[in-house]
Chain A
């Protein structure tokens, strides 16, 4: 604090450098969202009559509420699957040499950078009537008629879990890398078994990473328009497709705006719950 302003100047840059991006965001990010909010508070398409009609419509319509509910549930299921599968990858990463570490990272990273349409398409090939799972089960004589895997909740969850797995695994790897390995040894030498050490020491200390991973995975899973619509098919409707149908096919912009705002608020609520948990866990972990 006591340093002269002159010496501080050379290591930091003026806030003016942030002005172009701030203005860009003001015009093309904040303004559109405000316009969205403004239109959602109108009862007619032209935006002449103020009112909460769009929100009342959504919140009293069992169909709309069920779409919201199934979207939030889908996010929870995908996040749970990603956590259960992603944590062991992060654990394994800490156990292997640098060469294998790079291999694991690249395996985790590649899907993140591969086109979502391509990844989803792959699941159509795997889950389809003539897909790998059905072909294998049929040739083994386990089933006679192909199982319906595509266009089911199971199919959507497993495909989304694969698509979003990197978002869970990367923060977990970071978090586990920050845990002092001596703690693990100390716990074991004091008589706690491996399972107990894992649940009582490793898991609590990695909570910041778990929460960061869950936030990213959840937010990405519920907005994953392509995977939801291609694997879920026409019968399963989630918020992004509902929004798109209302806006594009039906041209009902005020209602689509209200759906967007409700969806935004739902995501923000989930993210802030996770952030609060994250703050608490940092106090708990002491790291």
Chain B
């Protein structure tokens, strides 16, 4: 009897946990699927399920020049911010990763702090500083602001990759007479490259999607895609936005698939 009670008890636990997990996974994945399906509607509303299917809203997207303009701006700013984040972030990660000193710990906390501090407060602060020194809002101010909030991803992933590097490799290379720069180029860089790429990828995605910093640092001439979409949605529920969302979802899935191949992204984020 006791054994049976035990198995029933174990079963009830596993059943409850599995059911909640499956519900949670459905809640995570459902919204993207719903948007994807609605974006192919032939109707004028966001009704689900759609009355019929067509590509009309994707065709509409082709002529939406305001969205094209905003997308181009977002892409340019994201590329510059990612590049700057990689250059500054990788150098900083090399300096702080193996150093046990207090200053290295403090710098690490400083470089990570944009991840937890409210980005909107930083956006306002940056706007006030730029206007104080007489720098008007421009793509440059956007790139600077985005770099501050994106660089933590590069630093974190590079530090993680460096932590797994065998120090003996560097010592043997030095013993064999290689210069530090040569060792860096031929040994360190190839080994930490997947970590850098993973960090750069997340930095790029978060810049492309950034709203709180862009909100303060952009103007009509530097319209950004997420803000354009947000303002369109505030006004009316446009099915064109569903088609654009469809494009973004498919692009994200494709990029994640490539990154999983190149860098093993999924293992990287759970270790």
Contacts and interface: CB of A to CB of B under 8 A. Distances in A.
Interface stretch (A50-58, A59-67, A104-112, A279-287): A104-112
Contacts, number: 291
A226 B18 contact: no
B92 interface: yes
Given A18-B96, A88-B20, A264 B35 contact: no
> DSSP class of B's interface residues: helix, strand, loop or mixed?
helix
A109 B260 CA distance: 11
Contacts of A215: 116
B110 interface: yes
Contact of B48 (A13, A125, A216): A125
A183 B20 CA distance: 24
A243 interface: yes
A132 B34 CA distance: 9
A193 B10 contact: yes
A29 B12 CA distance: 51
A12 B99 contact: yes
Given A29-B122, A85-B20, A165-B24, 8 more contacts: A10-B170, A10-B180, A18-B95, A20-B91, A86-B24, A114-B32, A123-B31, A194-B9
A206 B145 CA distance: 36
A89 B148 contact: no
Interface string A1-18: 000000100111111111
Contact of A194 (B13, B27, B34, B269): B13
A79 interface: no
A106 B48 contact: no
A121 B122 contact: no
> DSSP class of A's interface residues: helix, strand, loop or mixed?
helix
A203 B18 CA distance: 16
B64 interface: no
B120 A225 contact: yes
Contact of B248 (A115, A123, A216): A115
B14 interface: yes
B129 A193 contact: no
Q: For this complex, into which size category does the number of interface residues on chain A fall?
A: 35 or more
A28 B148 contact: yes
Contacts of B253: 110
A122 B29 CA distance: 11
A102 B266 contact: yes
A122 B48 contact: no
A126 B237 CA distance: 13
A30 B126 CA distance: 10
Given A24-B88, A240-B118, A88 B174 contact: no
A173 B28 contact: no
Contacts of B260: 102, 106
Given A21-B88, A247-B216, A11 B170 contact: yes
Nearest to B124: A247
Contact of B27 (A20, A29, A85, A91): A85
Nearest to A240: B120
A106 B25 CA distance: 11
10 contacts: A25-B111, A28-B144, A36-B121, A110-B32, A118-B248, A126-B31, A193-B10, A223-B118, A226-B230, A264-B117
